[in-house]
Amino acid sequence: MDFSYSITPIDGLFVVALSLLLGFEVIKNIPAVLHTPLMSGSNAISGIILIGGIIQLLNTTTESPWTMAAACLAVLLGTINMAGGFFVTHRMLSMFVVKRKPASGPRP
């Protein structure tokens, strides 16, 4: 069983185009109350760049210490970005306890 998977540049462009449209559709109508959590949550998602660090680290040996050091740095930076982002988003969302529908304004 081959457990590796990668895509060609052309596949990549397909993914870029379609997920861009998808991304806009998914988050188009987000209420203002969720803007900050959305931003910190999406910030956490961008920490997925850490995958690149993992790939580099697992493919180097101690014979090239500089490459390894740089890969380690990338892994650490990416992990803090990702973990911190998800944790803080969770903390923020725990404060929003939705009990009733939002008020629509004063009544005459």
Partner 1 sequence: MSMALVYLASAVGLVQGLKYMGDPARAKLGNTVAAASVVIALIAVAIAHSGPGTSGFVIALLLGLILLGTVIGKLWSDRVAMTSMPQLVSIFNALGGACAVVLGLNAVYSEGPVDSKFLGIVLILGGVFGGTAFTGSMVAYMKLDGRKLPRPVKAHKYIAQVLLLTMSVMTVAYLVLSTGTLPFPLLLLAISVAALLYGIFFTLPIGGADMPVLISLLNALTGVATLMAGLLFHDPVMLIGGILVGATGLLLTTQMCTAMNRSLGNVLAGSFRSSGAPTNEAEQDIRPITAVETASLLAFCKQVAVVPGYGMAVAQAQRECFVLQEQLRQNGVDLHFIIHPVAGRMPGHMNVLLAEANIPYASVIDMSAANGKMEYYDAVLVIGANDVVNPAAENDPASSIYGMPIIRAYKAKQVIVMKRGMAKGYSGVTNTLFDRANCKILFGDAKQSLETIINELKRI
- Segment 9 to 28, residues that bind partner 1, using CB under 8 A: 9, 11-12, 15-16, 19-20, 22-24, 26-28
Instruction: Verify binding: residue 97, partner 1, rule CB under 8 A.
Output: yes
Kindly give, in sequence order, each residue whose CB lies less than 8 Å from that of residue 62, ignoring residues fewer than 6 positions away. 68
From the centroid of its chain, how far is CA 63?
A: 32
CB of 78 to partner 1, least distance (A): 5
CB of 89 to partner 1, least distance (A): 5
Nearest of 75, 77, 57, 76 to residue 67 by alpha carbon: 57
Per-residue contact track with partner 1, 47 to 86, x per CB under 8 A? xxxxxxxxxxxxxxxx-x-xxx-xxxxxxxxxxxxxxxxx
Please say whether the beta carbons of 23 and 38 come within 8 A. no
